[in-house]
Amino acid sequence: MDKRQTLKEQTNHGTVSCPVAAYRFENSGAWQVMPHWHDENEIICLKEGSLTLRINTREYPLHAPVLVCIAPGEIHSIEIAEDAQWTEESAVVFRADILGFAHYDAVQEKLIAPVLEGICRFPVILNPTVPGFEQLWTCYEQLLAQTWTLQTEEPAETEWELTYFQIKIGLFQFVEQLYRSRLMETVSGDRTADAEIESIKKVLSYIGAHYDEPIRLQTLADLVNMNSQYFCRYFKKKIGRTITEYVNDIRLHRAADELLSTEKKVITIAQDCGFDNIGYFIRKFRAFAGVTPGEYRKRRGESMEEES
């Protein structure tokens, strides 16, 4: 297992020839995406339900329908409450440079280059109150459907190229609508905020690389040149969880992956994920997943067999 996957995300979103990918989630009850970041742009769509999204140091309680635009390098996480009735969420992740032209013209200079260079960015929240929302929503749904087709249906070469062409057109239409509705935002050079984000990334990266070892509070505080008492408050304010909660979450997510992808004994998985006490691990895992590790492996395994 790649220990870095909760740091800068290592997932390949799409392929070299088609650097765009789509993701879907539909479920009731609790769900969580741990803090992570990647080099691509991401458009998240909440079609039904509610969730809490954190981007860098800000928290956004969201209610459907809403689109959220996440810029490259931004730390983001998602949390859905345990009592959630039904959530339908999806995302399209893409490299902005697929919008670039080989021939440099006025559109490239005035509209596309500022996006590629980080001078302009998409607005974070797009809800029904913003101008052009219906058109943006339609653009997104077409992007999602076309990208999903490429991922799941493996069309013939010519059809593949035409579908990818439609995806690029859809992205241009999305950007065009943002400009037309005067929604594009100019990026301000807030060096203090940038430094804070880099400090947080340094800490999250360390935890992600050493989750299977004892992690000392002072070690984390030293990474960002803070005293341990202040660092505890700082971390909780920026991430929304205590250090212990976050470290346990990382370890429990790792354990859940191990339960489904290996045949290791539960006690071995607990130790490999940084839990020295098997009883403590089982209690925390039950609180995390609603079932014991053994039940989780059995139920999820059966569910995956039914879907295949």
- From 149, 168, 186, give the residue that closes a domain: 186
Instruction: Give residue-wise pLDDT tens across range 35-91.
Output: 899 989 999 999 999 999 999 988 999 999 999 999 999 999 999 987 888 999 999
Would the pLDDT of 11 be above 70? Answer: no
Q: Which domain holds residue 266?
A: 191-307
Residue 117 domain-assigned? yes
Output the pLDDT for position 30: 80
Average pLDDT, the chain: 88
Is the model more confident about 13 or about 145?
Answer: 145
Residues 135 and 27 occupy one common structural domain: yes
Confidence category of residue 143, pLDDT binned at 50, 70, 90: very high
The CATH number of the domain where 289 resides is what? 1.10.10.60
Is the model more confident about 169 or about 188?
Answer: 169
Residues 171 and 30 occupy one common structural domain: yes
Residue 182 domain-assigned? yes
The CATH number of the domain where 160 resides is what? 2.60.120.280
Residues 50 and 142 occupy one common structural domain: yes
Q: What percent of the chain shows pLDDT beyond 70? A: 90
Residues 170 and 195 occupy one common structural domain: no
Number of structural domains found in the chain: 2
Would the pLDDT of 220 be above 90? Answer: yes
Residues 38 and 88 occupy one common structural domain: yes
- State how far Cα 272 lies from the chain centre: 25
Residues 154 and 50 occupy one common structural domain: yes
Task: Name which of 78-82, 172-176, 206-210, 231-235 the model is least confident about.
Answer: 78-82
Is the model more confident about 136 or about 195?
Answer: 136
Output the pLDDT for position 8: 52
Residues 64 and 200 occupy one common structural domain: no
Closest CA to 131 of 92, 184, 73: 184
- From 159, 186, 213, give the residue that closes a domain: 186
Residues 241 and 275 occupy one common structural domain: yes
Closest CA to 111 of 38, 174, 39: 174
Output the pLDDT for position 195: 83
Residues 159 and 65 occupy one common structural domain: yes
Residues 205 and 93 occupy one common structural domain: no
Instruction: Give residue-wise pLDDT tens across range 13-29.
Output: 556 567 899 999 998 87
Output the pLDDT for position 17: 63
Residue 10 domain-assigned? no
Residue 12 domain-assigned? no
Residues 211 and 275 occupy one common structural domain: yes
Residues 155 and 211 occupy one common structural domain: no
Residue 2 domain-assigned? no
Residue 204 domain-assigned? yes
- From 130, 159, 186, give the residue that closes a domain: 186
Output the pLDDT for position 289: 87
